[in-house]
Amino acid sequence: MPAIKEITASQLDTKEFIREKAEEVSRIVGSGIAVNALSGGVDSSAVTMLGHKALGERLKTFFIDNGIMREGEPQQIASIFKKLGVNIEIIDAQDDFFSALKGITDPEEKREAITQTFYKKVFGNLVKKSGAKYLLQGTILTDVDETVAGIKRQHNVFEQLGIDPQEAFGYKIIEPLVQLRKDGVRKVAEAAGLPSSIYNRMPFPGPALSARVIGEATRERIALVRKATTIVEEELASSGAFQYMAILHNDRVTGMRDNKREFGQQIEIRCWDSIDARQARPTHLDFGQMEKLAKRMVTELPGVVSVTYNIATKPPSTMEAI
Amino acid sequence: MPAIKEITASQLDTKEFIREKAEEVSRIVGSGIAVNALSGGVDSSAVTMLGHKALGERLKTFFIDNGIMREGEPQQIASIFKKLGVNIEIIDAQDDFFSALKGITDPEEKREAITQTFYKKVFGNLVKKSGAKYLLQGTILTDVDETVAGIKRQHNVFEQLGIDPQEAFGYKIIEPLVQLRKDGVRKVAEAAGLPSSIYNRMPFPGPALSARVIGEATRERIALVRKATTIVEEELASSGAFQYMAILHNDRVTGMRDNKREFGQQIEIRCWDSIDARQARPTHLDFGQMEKLAKRMVTELPGVVSVTYNIATKPPSTMEAI
């Protein structure tokens, strides 16, 4: 793999970068069509804007509703792009993902099941049907670094998956953001006209809410952690924290309702202070806020009897639980 | 079961109570011998003192080292009683308990395995060998209430176990504390000459550290939660809290050491403010203290990468996790 020439956020001239990359995409795709998958994350959002600038309606953008997104997320994202004149097609692929996740408890196998379902099944079929010869991907330099270092397997780095996309799916991959890191991408996203809810979007994991469920990611458990996520995001939006999340544990703990014992569920809340996600400390929320969060969890979420707040640092913890 | 006449702590005349109950024990046992099992909790400690007063050396007191006690606990307790002129025989029964706990993950089955091993095997044999016809037990009124209500199955309430002790083991049970609640027992323990470390002892569960391990209670996992317990007790001794504990989860979470991913363990800390254990709130520790606790856990405990603090209230939580 040839070394990739990094463009730091401070070096970056966003207008020039967008112009140049749009031209490059346009040159490669020619009069053909390209596809991309939008998750609503800053990387795929920036790529969608770049691709749209280069190709207009010849870029076909899909939002794969895998069933493990947050509450209302597919519709919210599609609506943001609609306002910018970009049409997004939402594909309901919930059944495919939940059947792939069935019975899987190991975090690595979960990640793998999602990746395989996405690329080999759902998105693979969409690309085939579309007749596109090009796929735009929001891979950034950090994804490449982390995958090479074996720290995290990024779902958008194909080599590791043993996939030659051209051979497997008949398309080439274009990665216009691969010289940037996250801070650079945020600047590009802003310059491309995306709203702050996108370019300042809190990091959200590739395997989405399935990364927020320890153990099997069933429809029911995803629905539960989705509600917990809504509560955490409502309560901590004004915390100024780098990232916050709710995690549904697999362990059962004893609780008590109506004077009867109930083996219930536990939600773990993590809320991180961090500059660049490489190191992190728990945000010093006040106890009133933590108790309110706990109260909402045990009141609004059926079967939840216990709530914890993570107090470790990264390292040796990571931001996400799995 | 005939109604038990409660003696409240405020009604209680401790000297008179001790004199009366010692006489009663003496009258029942006559010139025979009696046995009891001391755990170091305030109930069994008070009963040991009462029985010793009544019977002297004709009360044989065993401390069953079940392998799931805290660091150095059997020796500490025996030494406290030795200073008061009471000899305690420590019985190493670790193998019996760990083999009974093998493979068991359900909390109720764990509790049951410990109870059965204790009464049917270890203690049952000791009683038989001793030739004693009487067993002194520290049952209190709350144990009876909770067992009747089905909230908690107390290990010292035989009826529920389907055991008629006289028939099963050939002995009768004497329960001198059964009219008292915890606050009354503390007063009796103090009046009987026990030190504050006993009569003000923080509540500790019957199934000991096996109640602090979610999932299987192996020797290794007990050893880990024992170390975590030592850390929590050192760090929170001056917190003034009602009860504090460390719990080892069964769920694995992702951590990172030396830039490599490590699926590690999580310790949950609970620290409760409470008057009478019926309701409880998380103690408002300051973040410096919580971060120090977390730091010690991830540094001193091999494989631990994550630490949480419980922020729910009782109810719907309980004090203990299982």
Cα B239 to Cα A205: distance, rounded to the nearest angstrom: 38
Residues in chain A with CB shorter than 8 Å from the CB of B244 are none
Q: Which candidate from B249, B310, B315 shows the least CB-CB separation from A256? A: B315
Instruction: Give chain A positions within 8 Å (CB) of B262.
Output: 316
- What ipTM was predicted for this assembly? 0.89
Render pLDDT for A253-289 as a digit per residue (tens, 0 to 9).
999 998 888 899 999 999 999 988 889 999 999 999 9
pLDDT confidence of residue A247? 98
pLDDT, position A156? 55
Do the Cβ atoms of B293 and A311 come within 8 Å?
A: yes
Each residue's pLDDT, cut to its tens digit, for chain B (322 residues) gives: 567 899 999 999 999 999 999 999 999 999 999 999 999 999 999 999 999 999 999 999 999 999 999 999 999 999 999 999 999 999 999 999 999 999 999 988 999 999 899 988 998 889 889 989 999 999 999 888 877 766 555 555 566 566 677 777 678 889 999 999 999 999 999 999 999 999 999 889 989 999 999 999 999 999 999 999 999 999 999 999 999 999 999 999 999 998 888 899 999 999 999 988 889 999 999 999 999 999 999 999 999 999 999 999 999 999 999 8
Q: Which residue of B307, B312, B321 is in closest CB contact with A311? A: B307
- pTM for the full predicted model: 0.90
Chain B residue with Cα closest to A215: B251
Q: Which residue in A has a C-alpha nearest to residue B212's C-alpha?
A: A253
pLDDT of residue A109: 93
For position A210, what pLDDT does the model report? 96
Per-residue pLDDT, B161: 60
Alpha helical stretches, state H, chain A: 14-29, 42-55, 73-83, 94-101, 107-116, 123-130, 141-149, 165-169, 182-191, 196-199, 219-236, 287-300
Looking at the partner chain, which of A215, A307, A318 has a beta carbon nearest the beta carbon of B255? A318
Question: Are residues A254 and B309, on separate chains, in Cβ contact within 8 Å?
Answer: no
B251, B282, B316 ranked by CB distance to A255: nearest: B316
A contact test, residue of B221, B308, B309, B322 with most A CBs within 10 A: B308
- What are the mean pLDDT values of chain A's consecutive 10-residue runs (322 residues total)? 85 97 97 95 97 97 97 96 97 97 94 90 89 92 76 57 71 92 95 96 91 97 98 96 97 91 95 91 97 98 98 96 90
Q: What was the pLDDT predicted at A9? A: 94
